[in-house]
Each structure stands twice: as structure tokens, then as C-alpha cells.
Structure 1
């Protein structure tokens, strides 16, 4: 059975923000059987040599599929889609579109959104005001691009929901505590549509139980 290495204990400010959510969502969407191996981040479990042999950077998530180990959330999602034959088209052009938007979510859209989230959670509002304003401006450029892309479309890469949508929706989730999406109605509707999926609700419930928090506290 496939094993997902995810958080069992993590520092409270980042509960609900961790990237194992992406992988568990993909597993719930594909229906692949899996178990979660919870790691105690606060106790240093990820820093030991055992986990270092699983994840080169000692980061979560990682998966072990009967001895085949994959790290990095984007790579894991693409592997799961290929393995299940779901959440990715069978033709080369369709698959390339999905890969393109996976890369776009992680390498383009996420950078300023993650920094905004970190400033809001851990920064100094006054000292970081200029930096945050620059990140909001940069984020606007990428969100505007998404807004154009989503004209007449339900999903970002293809007509159907794919792993690119899981990655992009979880990236957009990083700024859910702000009003940034209100300026982009198509992106906001897309985000709401993705997180209304039953597999996401199952994922969030299982994650909340694993971390010992209420679902509403991390929604």
C-alpha cells in the first residue's frame, strides 16, 4: 500500500498550511489506497537519517509506493495521476498542459502568495509594509493572468479537473485570509469551485483529525 509521509505534529501557526494536504487531496480524488505515516516535526523526527533517506531535503510530503519513493508535492501529484490514470489526460498535448500549469502554480504564482502569507503570519506589519506591497503588486500580475486564462473555463489546464487544479487551488489558499481574490472574480469562483469538491472535504477532515484540530479552524 502507498504510504504518505505527512505531519502528525507541527507548530500551531502552520497547521492547515502544509503541503501534505495537496497529496492527500490527490489520493482522495484518485481513490488509490494509502496510509499516512505521521511525522513529529516539533520533536525533530524529520531531521534524522531515516527520513533523510526518504526525502533528500527532509521535507514533507513524500510518498513510498511499495519501495518507489517520490518527494516534492508537484512531482508526487503527477506520479499519482499517471499511476491512477486519472486527473491527467492521456494524450501528450493534454498532459503537457497539465504539467505547464503545475509548474506555473509552483514556480510563478506561489512565490509572492507564500511571502504574503509569511509576512502576515510571522512578520512585522510596519517593518514589512513595503515588502508586502511589492509582493501584492507581483501577485496581481499573476492573478490577472489567471483571470484571463479562466475566461469561459471551469478548470485551469483542461476541460476536466486535474492535478494542476489541486496545486493551484492550494496555492491560492495561502492568501485566503486576505481580500486579494476579491479583485479577480473568475479566480475566486474557480477557487471556490475547487474547494467545494467532496474529495477536498474528506481531505480536510482527515487532516484535522490527524493534527487534532477542528475543521473550521483550518478551513
Structure 2
């Protein structure tokens, strides 16, 4: 049975091109793993059915069904695929631990302030600047530390590109809506752009753009 990936076929225009199924699609392209894509129509409420909740309890994309092994959460999925394929993760415990560490970092240290600013800017009425000022300070602290980390590294977890880089690069791509935020951090920007220059990412985003409708 071929691995099934549940990804978007239609999503709102603002999110299109930034959704988390891209992380798994990118990993699958890098690993050259065969899969069947199950297209989900977000505006038509495909994600809120009882059947889909059994795959993804929080009604989110992506999810996979690998011959009965069901996973949701993009970071969990890419780590599973890396370990299954033996690609984009080291075979030794020390190297694997660093990849896992930086997968968690992308999800838990870098993404939260970026998402929080995005939600604030969607919802704030402009009556008070303190919340936004706080979020900008939080983002700058995170990016300052990441800039320091890249002083002598091309990739985030090991000397080679891994699934941690897929997660981190996608967080930096989808989470930073104002490019001015990353301008003071040239190493971080260079790292992001280096990852996004990979042929597998270019093929992934091109195929996604041709397939996924704005709804």
C-alpha cells in the first residue's frame, strides 16, 4: 500500500503557498519516496469531518497514512519519513539527536513569535502598540541567537542538509511576512535562501502552485 499524504487542494488565498503540507511534500521530494496525495478542500470543510479527525485530531493539514500507521503534525511526519528512508537524518544517535533538537527548535522557539505577530496583525485594532512591540522584541531575540548560531554553519543541525532544515527554512519563509524583520540578520536570510534554492524545493513549490487552488 502506498503512503497517503493528506494535503490541500484548495485553501484560502492568504495561506496558499505557505501551508504546512509543503514541509512534507518537500521532504518526500528530497527523499524521492512514492506517495498518493489526497487533496483536501478547506473551504468545503473537508478537514472538519469525523473521518478526517481520526487522522488529525486538531483538524489540520498535513496527515499521513502509511499502510495503517497514521501521523499528523508536520515535524513528526518528516522525522518519521527520514528515519524510514534513512535520508536527511544521520544514522548515529548523536547526529540524530541534533536533528531532533533543531526540529523542536524550529517548532517551539522560532515559529511561536512569528505566528504570534501574524495573528496580532490580523486581529489588532491599533489601539495599543505594547503587544506588537513585545512580539517584535521576542522575534529579534530569537533571530539574534539564530544569527549567532550560523556564524560557522551552512545548515542548522549537522554539516549536511536534514529534515531540521526543511522545518526551519519553511518557518522562516512562511512566518516572516515583512522582509524587514530578517534584514538585520544576513546569516539567517542567507541560510533560508540557501535551503530554498534546492531543486527539490523548487519542484515542490512549482507543483503545489499548479495544483492548489485559492478558495
Whether TM-score is above 0.5 comes out as: yes
Residue of structure 1 equivalent to 2:115: 114
For normalisation by structure 1, the TM-score amounts to 0.92
Is 1:191 the counterpart of 2:189? The answer is: no
Alignment partners' CA distance in 2, 1:187 and 1:103: 18
* Conservation of the 8 A alpha-carbon contact between 1:55 and 1:62: yes
Kindly state the Cα deviation for residue 176 of structure 1 after the two structures are TM-superposed: 4.4
Q: Distance in 1 between matches of 2:158 and 2:48?
A: 39
Root mean square deviation, CA, Å: 1.4
- Partner residue, 2:138: 138
CA deviation after TM superposition for structure 1 residue 161, in Å = 0.2
Classify the secondary structure of the residue corresponding to 1:114: helix
Deviations 1:10-34 (A, max 9, x none): 1222112210011101111111011
Deviation of the 1:212 alpha carbon = 3.3
CA gap 1:127/1:212 in 2 versus in 1, 3 angstroms = same
Q: CA contact under 8 A between 1:61 and 1:72: conserved in structure 2?
A: yes
Shift of 1:126: 2.1
Q: Does 1:163 align with 2:167?
A: no
User: 1:126/1:2 Cα in 2 relative to 1: closer, same or farther (>3 Å)?
Assistant: same
CA contact (8 A) 1:30 1:84 kept: yes
Q: Which residue of 2 aligns with 1:67?
A: 68
CA shift for structure 1 position 58: 1.6
Look up the SS of the partner of 2:39 in the other structure.
strand
Q: Is the 8 A contact 2:11 2:213 kept in 1?
A: no
Displacement of 1:125: 6.4
Given that 2:24 and 2:78 are in contact with CA atoms closer than 8 Å, whether structure 1 keeps it comes out as yes
User: Measured at CA, do residues 125 and 177 of structure 1 come closer, stay the same or move farther in structure 2, by a change above 3 Å?
Assistant: farther
Greater relative CO, 1 or 2 (CA 8 Å, sep 6+): 2
Number of the residue aligned with 2:43:
42
Distance 2:29 2:76 in 1: 17
Give the superposition deviation at 1:142.
Answer: 1.0
Asked whether 1:101 is paired with 2:79, we answer no
TM-fit CA distance, 1:131: 1.8
Gap runs ≥5 in structure 1: 214-219
Quickly say closer, same or farther: Cα 1:9–1:127, change in 2 above 3 A. Answer: farther
Paired residues of 2:21 and 2:74 also in contact (CA < 8 A): yes
The answer on whether the counterparts of 1:119 and 1:128 sit within 8 Å (CA) in structure 2 is no
Question: What's the counterpart of residue 150 of structure 2?
Answer: 150
1:129 aligns with 2:133: no
Instruction: Measure, in 1, the Cα distance between the counterparts of 2:119 and 2:28.
Output: 27
